[in-house]
Amino acid sequence: MTTTKVTVIGAGLAGVEAAWQIAQAGVAVDLYEMRPVRASPAHHTAELAELVCSNSFGAMASDRAAGLLHEELRRLGSIIISTADRHSVPAGGALAVDRGVFSSQLTTTLANHPLINLKREEITEIPTDGVVVLATGPLTSPQLASDLQRFTGMEYFSFFDAASPIVVGESINQEIVFLASRYDKGESAYLNCPMNKEQYLHFWQELAHAEQAELKDFERENAKFFEGCLPIEELAKRGEDTMRYGPLKPVGLFDSRLGDFRDPVNKSKRPYAVVQLRQEDKAGELWNMVGFQTNLKWGEQKRVFSLIPGLEKAEFVRMGVMHRNTFINSPGLLHPTLQFQSRETLLAAGQLVGTEGYTAATAGGWLAGTNAARLILGKEPLIIPNTTMMGALFDFISSASPKHFQPMPPNFGILPQLPSKIRNKRERYGQYRDRSLTDLDTWQTKLLTSALTVVT
Ligand SMILES: Cc1cc2nc3c(=O)[nH]c(=O)nc-3n(C[C@H](O)[C@H](O)[C@H](O)COP(=O)(O)OP(=O)(O)OC[C@H]3O[C@@H](n4cnc5c(N)ncnc54)[C@H](O)[C@@H]3O)c2cc1C
């Protein structure tokens, strides 16, 4: 390969981390950021790594999913996390920052790095040669988004994220739910939450009157085109039975523990409505609420969805959302190294690859940047152990089912199970943390001792 520098497109959280890791490896970078030449619908400044909404990177404790990811990134020399640590503000257990100082500090540091050439320019097409990292985020500019759509193929691209909540399997009451597919047909069985008439009517009333989140203007625009995928609360508002003829239809679903559903004597045992949960990950630890894309406020989602039989104590790893979000269908497209399968010198990171949240975007930037530099230096790209939160995220997005792929935040449900079952949640999460950090340290040491230097 003759190229000696990497092109990084987008200087948000992922792009900044990627550019920094590349430069720290001694490789030159052209870092393109379209702001302020071209505005995005959500950013307000011209600074790099602007935090578009909250100033929080999530829980700090390392036995929480976000906190574990912070700690992994800290050990790997992330500039985003070290800058966040330096400019943190009190936030009751969360890693929150003074957003102005945080972004301006990163802008100055990157702009002054001798190997980073910051160009304020919109890129409208994927560069056809060289090593390139795409990190243009959920609000990728329209022309580049069209080119990315052409490159990936229509079915591998989304402009709008209408995601249902995801629930941790072991928080579902297995004595109430039952595993079955409709009429016992179909590819795989669903977990079904049965409702009697009284339970359904109560749920329907609460859902129809629950509080919705405000849509931003540019999101309202997109929502208009999304009639085929209405929020569950909109269906509830359309009438008492609308959901029972839609995602909550009970036909063909029966709990075999109650007898044979074809037998007329069991007719009275048939559920009045059913909420279905579809398996989200290979291990069956995460379950997606089918048809529950929603605009309800997060607190309201927890309150109302906990009325569903079997979900009374449900632990949500991701709440439902409906917002503008450009992301690719990574499972059909990317290796866990974040290289495209069809062009290994093209890498992607950040919200664009279907991870969710600031810290996950930073993690993607670290890996894509590190691997881009390694390609230039003639080294093998890295795959992070999947027992770490970082490794598990990139394992998930590159191996989940492409058919139902939706963005995923860091959470313990994507990690491989521990060798033995631990009932106590805090203790279990502590064990996940210990295993992750030990495995990360061992992996880093191995890289260093085999002279495949990991960038720190
Ligand atoms: C409205 C909104 C609110 C959000 N709130 C939160 C929140 O509170 N907490 C949270 O954790 N996550 C939130 N997210 C998700 C959030 O976007 C990501 O967590 C994070 O910003 C993603 O980082 P990124 O680097 O992938 O994208 P970004 O941070 O968006 O960075 C992408 C960069 O690429 C630039 N760019 C785009 N197109 C081009 C182009 N063609 N050429 C050159 N540059 C380009 C953009 O200007 C931007 O600077 C929110 C997202 C949106 C849209």
* Per-residue pLDDT tens digits for 234-291: 999 999 999 999 999 999 888 888 887 777 787 788 899 999 998 887 778 889 999 9
In a domain, 454, yes or no: no
Question: What atom in ligand 1 is closest to the CA of residue 43?
Answer: 47
pLDDT at 417 over 70: yes
pLDDT at 59 over 80: yes
| DSSP letter (8 states) at residue 391 | H
| C-alpha of residue 276 to centroid of ligand 1, in Å | 32
Q: Are residues 175 and 79 in the same domain?
A: no
pLDDT at 90 over 50: yes
Mean pLDDT of the residues in the chain: 91
Q: Are residues 156 and 249 in the same domain?
A: no
Beta bridge partners of 9: 32, 134
Q: Which of 299, 319, 339 is the last residue of a domain?
A: 319
CA distance 116 to 287: 43
Q: What is the arrangement of strands in the sheet containing 88-89, beginning at the earlier edge strand?
A: 56-59, 94-97, 88-89
Question: What atom in ligand 1 is closest to the CA of residue 50?
Answer: 29
Q: Are residues 132 and 18 in the same domain?
A: yes
3 state SS of 322? strand
Number of domains in the chain: 2
Question: What atom in ligand 1 is closest to the CA of residue 365?
Answer: 25
Q: Are residues 94 and 157 in the same domain?
A: yes
136 ligand 1 Cβ < 6 A: yes
286 ligand 1 Cβ < 6 A: no
Decide if 384 contacts 69 (C-beta within 8 A): no
Decide if 139 contacts 148 (C-beta within 8 A): no
53 ligand 1 Cβ < 6 A: yes
Q: Whole domain around residue 174: which residue ranges?
A: 166-319
Provide the pLDDT for residue 220: 60
Q: Which of 291, 319, 347 is the last residue of a domain?
A: 319
Q: Are residues 72 and 108 in the same domain?
A: yes
Q: Are residues 103 and 192 in the same domain?
A: no
* 77 annotated as ligand-binding: no
Q: Phi and psi of 274, rounded to 5°?
A: -140, 130
Q: Could you tell me whether strands 273-279 and 131-134 are parallel, antiparallel, or unpaired per DSSP bridges? A: unpaired
Query: Which of 57, 97, 134, 139 to mutate for ligand 1's pocket (most ligand atoms within 8 Å of CB)?
Result: 139
In 10 A of CB 164, how many CB atoms?
A: 25
Q: Are residues 279 and 407 in the same domain?
A: no
104: exposed, middle or buried (Cβ count in 10 Å: 0-12, 13-18, 19+): middle
34 ligand 1 Cβ < 6 A: yes
361 ligand 1 Cβ < 6 A: yes
| C-alpha of residue 133 to centroid of ligand 1, in Å | 15
CATH number, domain containing residue 26: 3.50.50.60
Distances (CA, A) of 247 to 194, 277, 403, 415: 13, 11, 18, 30
pLDDT at 191 over 60: yes
∠ CA 162-91-66, rounded to 5°: 50
Q: Are residues 65 and 128 in the same domain?
A: yes
Q: Phi and psi of 300, rounded to 5°?
A: -70, -40
Q: Which of 253, 286, 319 is the last residue of a domain?
A: 319
58 ligand 1 Cβ < 6 A: no
pLDDT digits (tens, 9 = 90+) for 195-236: 999 999 999 999 999 998 876 665 665 554 445 568 899 999
Which tokens belong to 345?
Answer: 């010198």
3 state SS of 166? strand
* 349 annotated as ligand-binding: no
Q: Are residues 131 and 44 in the same domain?
A: yes
